[in-house]
Amino acid sequence: MKPERKKIWTLVLIGMVFFSCSAYCQDSGKPGVPRVVILDFDGGGQIDADQSAAMADSLSAAMDKSKYYDVVSRKDFKKAVREHEQKTGKPCTDRACLNLVARSLGAHPVKPSVKKDGRGCSVSVGLMGADGKNMASGKLKRGACSPRNMKIAAEGAVMFMTNEIIHGAKIDEIDTKKERSALSASEQPPEDTQEQLDQEFDEATQPKTDKKAEQNAKNLEEEARRKLGLGK
């Protein structure tokens, strides 16, 4: 298939997904839409950290305008992540931690990624569940890794993911109260932490003894008592 014809068919396919979603969202009578938050792109060596954040911001804005998702602003999400980090004193950068913070906001994390795919560049997006695995996903390849192509691919990938959702992908429900409780529990030190620290301090400050030398001295004393008939 010629590149130009292939490009046309790609755009036609994206359009079909878009219109099927439009029909579903208008006619299904479904009162709610998934609440989501967009994580930074996994650049795959194709984009740096700044580009990753910028692409995520762009995708978040596009999904917010689509009206098929209730999008938590990345500003609010980053604020929640910082607050969690301050409480725990640890960075929150891994998938499990980001998922926990997102779900405490009542949102499913959307994990986007970019990678080299042959001569082109492909963008994937996935709606994550409580276990960190994708419940719905989409992927689209473009002929080159230009910023414009990656933006088009990202928005197209979201359309494919949306199509999976509206055609029955099982999306777990989020109990915000329960998720916030789980997040709060992860921020609290174990109950016995202070007791354990006190014990470690006591052990560290006790005078050190040579157990082997102590036992040898005890053995010599017992042997001397036997020889002298003094008993124990």
> DSSP character for 143?
S
Q: Given this model, what pLDDT does residue 13 score?
A: 45
Q: Given this model, what pLDDT does residue 9 score?
A: 45
Q: Given this model, what pLDDT does residue 207 score?
A: 64
CB atoms within 10 A of CB 179: 20
Q: Given this model, what pLDDT does residue 65 score?
A: 87
Q: Given this model, what pLDDT does residue 143 score?
A: 87
Where do the domains of the chain lie, and which CATH numbers do they carry? 3-187 (3.40.50.10610), 193-228 (no CATH)
CA–CA separation, 191 and 219 (whole Å): 43
- Closest residue by Cα to residue 46 from 125, 150, 127, 158: 150
DSSP 3-state of 108: strand
Q: Given this model, what pLDDT does residue 192 score?
A: 58
Q: Given this model, what pLDDT does residue 30 score?
A: 31
Q: Given this model, what pLDDT does residue 135 score?
A: 94
| Cα radius of gyration (the chain) | 29
Q: How is the beta sheet containing 134-142 ordered, strand by strand?
A: 70-71, 35-38, 108-117, 120-128, 134-142
* CB distance 135 to 170 below 8 Å: yes
* Amino acid found at 179: E
Q: pTM of the full predicted structure?
A: 0.67
CA–CA separation, 68 and 19 (whole Å): 12
Q: What is the mean pLDDT of each run of 10 residues along the chain (232 residues)?
A: 49 43 35 85 85 91 88 94 93 92 95 87 93 92 88 92 91 91 84 66 68 77 76 62
- Could you give the angle at which helices 74-88 and 49-66 cross, rounded to 10 degrees? 130
Q: Given this model, what pLDDT does residue 190 score?
A: 64
CA–CA separation, 125 and 110 (whole Å): 7
Answer left, alpha or beta for residue 182, where phi above 0 means left and psi between -120 and 50 means alpha: alpha
